[in-house]
Amino acid sequence: MEYIVVVKCGGSTVDELSPSFFESICKMKENGKHPVIVHGGGPAINGMLQALQIETEFVDGRRKTTPKVLETVEMVLSGKVNKQIVAQIQSVNEKAIGLSGVDAKLLTATAIERETLGLVGKIKAVNVSFLRELLEMGYIPVIAPIALDERGEKLNINADEAAGAIASALQAEELVFVTDVDGVLVDGQLQETLSVSEIDTYIEDGTIYGGMIPKVNAARESLTGDIKKVTIANGNGKNTDENGALIGTTIMKEEFIAQEDA
User: Which positions make up the binding site for substrate?
Assistant: 41-42, 63, 156
Residue 45's pLDDT band, with cuts at 50, 70 and 90, is: very high
Residue 31's pLDDT band, with cuts at 50, 70 and 90, is: confident
pTM given for the model: 0.87
Identify which has the larger pLDDT, 257 or 98.
98
Give the pLDDT confidence score for residue 103 in this predicted structure: 96
| Degrees, nearest 5: CA angle 260-261-262 | 95
Residue 252 has pLDDT above 60, yes or no: yes
Give the pLDDT confidence score for residue 258 in this predicted structure: 61
Coil vs helix vs strand at 225: coil
Count of structural domains, the chain? 1
Report, as an integer, the average pLDDT of 161-188: 88
User: Which positions make up the binding site?
Assistant: 41-42, 63, 156
Phi/psi of residue 30, nearest 5 degrees: -60, -25
Give the pLDDT confidence score for residue 119 in this predicted structure: 95
Can you tell me the distance from the alpha carbon of 63 to that of 56, in angstroms, rounded to the nearest whole number?
Answer: 7
Report, as an integer, the average pLDDT of 70-75: 96
Tell which phi-psi region holds residue 87, choosing left (phi > 0), alpha (psi between -120 and 50) or beta.
alpha
Residue 93's pLDDT band, with cuts at 50, 70 and 90, is: confident
Residues spanned by the domain of 244: 4-261
Give the pLDDT confidence score for residue 237 in this predicted structure: 65
Coil vs helix vs strand at 126: strand
Residue 14 has pLDDT above 60, yes or no: yes
Report, as an integer, the average pLDDT of 23-34: 88
Lowest mean pLDDT among 3-12, 135-144, 207-216, 249-258: 249-258
Residue 262 has pLDDT above 60, yes or no: no
Give the pLDDT confidence score for residue 260 in this predicted structure: 65
Can you tell me the distance from the alpha carbon of 179 to that of 32, in angstroms, rounded to the nearest whole number?
Answer: 24
Check which CATH number belongs to the domain holding 111 and give it: 3.40.1160.10
Coil vs helix vs strand at 15: helix
Lowest mean pLDDT among 55-64, 81-90, 158-167: 55-64
